[in-house]
Amino acid sequence: MSTMLDALSEVSNITIFFLATSLLLALFYEMINGFHDTANAVAMIIYTNSMKARNSVIMSGIMNFIGVIAGGIGVAYAIVHILPLDVIVSANQQSTLIMIYSLLLSAIVWNFGTWYYGIPVSSSHSLIGSLVGVSLMFGVMNGYDLSQSVNSGVLYKVLIALALSPLLGFGFAYVFMKMARAFIRIPKFYKSPQSEKKRKRPNFWMRISIILTGAGISFAHGSNDGQKGMGLIMIILIGIMPTFYALDMNSHQYRIQQVHDSAKNLSRVYEQNRADFDKLVEDKTIKSALKAQNSIQECDVYNTYETIASVATKLDGIKTYKELSSGDRWSVHSAILCSDNFFAQIQKHFAHEDRGMSEYVGTQRAIMVSATEYVPIWVIVSVALALGLGTMIGYKRVVLTVGEKIGSRPINYMQGTVAQAMSMATILLANFLHAPVSTTQIVSSSVAGTMLSQPNSSVQSKTVKTILLSWLFTLPTTMALGAGLYYLLSYMFL
């Protein structure tokens, strides 16, 4: 919190007000995320009466908290890098605030509305759609082309992950449910609460399986979806107070020395391979991260050596980033991002031709970007608490949809276990790959996979159609809503 206290002592009261309201809106978004996504983690536990609702949501909140703490920040910065932050910071503060409020309000309105009607829609889609819509409208209104407003390469990877992950969840659940029916022939495992005459809950071992896999989904959800909230808050902090959050101001001097050394090592790699690198640039094999015009700093691939060398020069001999001027802090931030983009392409290009150099470049990149890719612990804890609170408030509306309205029959105990286990595995795989995915889509698809694997069973076309349409329209709707809010607020206040 020391960086925040330093920042608050130097900024105006009006900036503090807008910062506080932005952070509160971001945490409210995370609460609604809990309504939607974490409710899926406890849906089977509650629906099958494996645990009391109160106990299950408390367990889910704890596992979400642990998941957020242990999940890392790779997914968070996949979200952050959808927006070229140079675009945000190049704007005046009023425009930056309008961008932030527009994307927050857009995501909240759509998430809250779909939760109210019990539709398990994707919070991830709503956030990404809002980000893209606001950024594109900002570009149109300020004379930037589309390549400047959105990092299309990052967005493409995010959209691919969002599209493929529910298919994987469906496929895994379908196959494993078939295997379960083939090898586990215990009739009571395939009953549902409605089919039980006396005890309306599974036997001991099945209860344990449902509870453990549900806890696993909560952990996986925290490790992936929690990072989206972290990324959103980092966009707010960097956008409103770039002087204090462009670099990790709490870095120890030895960490700063490591960043300095990695920049120097990468500049040495460039020197030793200058002819090969220059040819790749000339052949357009290596391209600029941002085709900049106007006032945005350009990631000039023809000037990469000077860019990476400037990082080492500015960090030479300093013990804390506070020794850098405000301008130098942002300059180092931009130089690191531009250099990292260049060497990421180098690493990929030489992955087969010169594996040793490729691995070395990857190691040095990871050290260098640690100066810009970080999340303060208070942000992590705040997001975890918001997710847990959201679960406890709004889980009931989604539980019934997942338990009874996806399949033609109520879900049985084995289906619940398999659906949860495969959902957990899919989310953790995505987290390992730093890919933001939708817990809602994965859980719903996994449930559908177990349903279709059952003999004489199917899915309820009306519910599935409603869910699919909500998934389909979430991105374009939130893009349009975010863009419209930005235009309206800009017209009112700029």
Q: Which residues, 6 or more positions from 351, have their beta carbon under 8 angstroms from its beta carbon?
A: 358
Instruction: Kindly give the parts of the chain with pLDDT less than 50.
Output: 291-296, 403-408
Instruction: Identify the pLDDT of residue 336.
Output: 92
Exposed (0-12), middle (13-18) or buried (19+): which is 183, by Cβ within 10 Å? Answer: exposed
Instruction: Identify the pLDDT of residue 292.
Output: 44
Helix pair angle (461-493, 123-142), 10° resolution? 30
Instruction: Identify the pLDDT of residue 466.
Output: 63
Instruction: Identify the pLDDT of residue 213.
Output: 93
Exposed (0-12), middle (13-18) or buried (19+): which is 407, by Cβ within 10 Å? Answer: buried
Domains of the chain, by residue range, sit at 2-149+185-244+376-493, 247-369
Residue with tokens 């009874």: 404
For residue 209, which of 5, 25, 45 has the smallest C-alpha distance?
45
Phi, psi of 150 (to 5 degrees): -135, 140
Q: Give the max Cα distance, the chain.
A: 78
Q: DSSP string of 13-59?
A: HHHHHHHHHHHHHHHHHHHHHIIIIIHHHHHHHHHTTSS-HHHHHHH
∠ at Cα 247 (143, 23), nearest 5°?
70
* Predicted TM-score (pTM) of this structure: 0.85
Instruction: Identify the pLDDT of residue 294.
Output: 46
Instruction: Identify the pLDDT of residue 197.
Output: 58
Q: Which residues, 6 or more positions from 246, have their beta carbon under 8 angstroms from its beta carbon?
A: 238, 329, 330, 332, 333, 372
Cα gap 434→103, rounded to integer Å: 22
